[in-house]
Amino acid sequence: MANKMRVAQVPNAGGPFQIVERPIPEPPAEWVRIKVQACGVCHSDSLTKEGYWPGIQYPRVPGHEVIGVIDALGERVSQWKVGQRVGVGWHGGNCGYCDNCRRGDFFACTVDLKITGISFDGGYGEYMVAPSIALARVPDELSGVDGAPLMCAGITTFNALRNSGARAGDLVAVLGLGGLGHLGVQYARKMGFRTVGIARGKDKEPLARELGAFQYIDSQTQNPAVELTKLGGARVILATVTAGDAMSAVQGGLGPNGKLIVIGAAQSIQLSPLLMIGGKQEIKGWYSGTSIDSQDTLAFSVMTGVRSMNEVFPLERVTEAYDRMMSGKARFRVVLTMGG
């Protein structure tokens, strides 16, 4: 084991996971090496697994919900120390000098946009190396398993909501109560919004209320647009589902100047321009965020008690863990642990 590590790699697009031994990598300049404690299994890992993302070089280790401990520093890393706990999320780095970077739109870097587990090996393994710019500080209060899903599902919902323009007391609805939505409801509540959960089936109501929703709308038996309108109309609807028709069905529930924020990767959505014009509605997408946004997400989660509900698997059972996530049946996020 001395200088070997186990990782779960994808040998080629669409290929099966392989647990292999590799030499523990040395961090290049401005990168660090991380001993991984836990890594979430995100739906976007299918981009690597199935090869949907263009230009991936295989074999590749997926995983962009990483929590671990820095165990070696590359040259010119001054702001981090060995032994610090850090997280790595989707945004793995950017050039810093292209036009978009200089405007602060790091997610739109045109020169060197790095995505963890796609551009370089991610957290499905005992060790990984990551650019120091991609690191978020992890509070001691958060275990690896607790922290991991916050590095993508958490930051995406937290950051979308805190940048939504909604103010304390505003009506904010979260569409979907899955991996993203169960965090979205908690964040919305803790940010002080009048939080409404929308999902299919009466059986989800106790969960929605437990997570902090003051109202629940069952989209199977109720019309969510009508119900939201009765409540005054939503300032923001955070759409976490992957079904475009479910998103279309809530558009009419936006209040004046309301905003539909789309973070579920549906194939397509049908929207009514008439509603958009008459209500001065906005439709907006949201990208997770950078490492400081992750750090803010973790700190806020500790401060307010927001946690992901997780199903935990050891690295060896990566195939089962991935299939479970893809089945959509996990309650609610799947997390791999490295057992060391």
Question: Residues in the site for Zn ion, rule: CB under 5 A?
Answer: 42, 44, 94-95, 98, 101, 109, 111, 152
> Could you tell me the smallest distance in angstroms from the CB atom of residue 298 to Zn ion?
15
> Could you tell me the smallest distance in angstroms from the CB atom of residue 200 to Zn ion?
23
Nearer CB in complex with Zn ion: 72/95: 95
10 Å Cβ neighbour count for 301?
Answer: 25
> Could you tell me the smallest distance in angstroms from the CB atom of residue 85 to Zn ion?
20
CA 166 to chain centre: 21
> Could you tell me the smallest distance in angstroms from the CB atom of residue 25 to Zn ion?
23
Q: How many whole angstroms separate alpha carbon 51 and alpha carbon 138?
A: 31
> Could you tell me the smallest distance in angstroms from the CB atom of residue 183 to Zn ion?
12
Nearer CB in complex with Zn ion: 82/111: 111
> Do the strands 254-262 and 234-239 form a parallel or antiparallel pair, or are they unpaired?
parallel
Helix, strand, or coil here: 305?
coil
> Do the strands 282-285 and 310-314 form a parallel or antiparallel pair, or are they unpaired?
unpaired
> Do the strands 18-23 and 135-137 form a parallel or antiparallel pair, or are they unpaired?
unpaired
Nearer CB in complex with Zn ion: 94/219: 94
Cβ atoms of 215 and 186 within 8 Å: the answer is: no
25 dihedral zone (left: phi>0; alpha: psi -120 to 50; beta): beta
Nearer CB in complex with Zn ion: 38/225: 38
Look at residues 335, 337, 332 and name the one whose alpha carbon lies nearest to residue 183.
332
CA angle, corner 39, sides to 47 and 312, nearest 5?
110
Helix, strand, or coil here: 182?
helix
Give, for 206, the enclosing helix (H) or strand (E).
helix 205-211
> Could you tell me the smallest distance in angstroms from the CB atom of residue 171 to Zn ion?
28
Nearer CB in complex with Zn ion: 13/98: 98
Nearer CB in complex with Zn ion: 42/234: 42
